[in-house]
Structure 1
Amino acid sequence: MVCFCFLVDQERKVRRSKPVAGTCSRCGRGASVADMKTATRFCHVPFYWKSWKAVICTFCGAILKSYR
């Protein structure tokens, strides 16, 4: 019997960000518009990248709105 075990993970990084008027609906702190990059890795080797914009909280890191 053969058993395969795969390790796949996803990592999000903020590339750039700038402040925006408004507050976070979860914690009430400031928000910012950020250029995000998502990398999906298989056994520590990245095989898929996606860039997108999002409005994120500067304090708790919650994604308030995404523009894909």
Structure 2
Amino acid sequence: MVCFCFLVDQRRKIKGSKPAAGMCSRCGRGAKVADMKTSTRFCLIPVYCRSRRAIVCTFCGSVLKSYR
């Protein structure tokens, strides 16, 4: 028996943010502290949601550091 399960998407949504001291190590722009919600869906069915606080670049959007 073969079972296939495909990852359809993983979405990040920023609920709120405020400026943070420091700069992005990738692009050199400013950073912000954001409350993020990550949702993972398998085969169009929501499976996992996680809320966390992270330091995010304001220009390129990369997550610099994540807190639980």
TM-score, normalisation: structure 2? 0.85
- The residue type equivalent to 2:48 in the other structure is Y
- The residue type equivalent to 2:52 in the other structure is W
TM-score, normalisation: structure 1? 0.85
* Larger Rg belongs to: 1
Distance across 1 between alignment mates of 2:53 and 2:67: 5
State the SS of the aligned residue for 1:60: coil
Aligned pairs, how many? 67
For structure 1, the residue ranges without an aligned partner over 5 or more in a row are none
Indicate the residue corresponding to 2:30 in structure 1. Answer: 30
- The residue type equivalent to 1:24 in the other structure is C
Moved over 3 A (4+): none
Note the C-alpha offset of 1:10: 1.9
- Identity rate of aligned residues, in percent? 61
Indicate the residue corresponding to 2:55 in structure 1. Answer: 55
RMSD across aligned positions (CA)? 1.4
For structure 2, the residue ranges without an aligned partner over 5 or more in a row are none
Indicate the residue corresponding to 1:5 in structure 2. Answer: 4
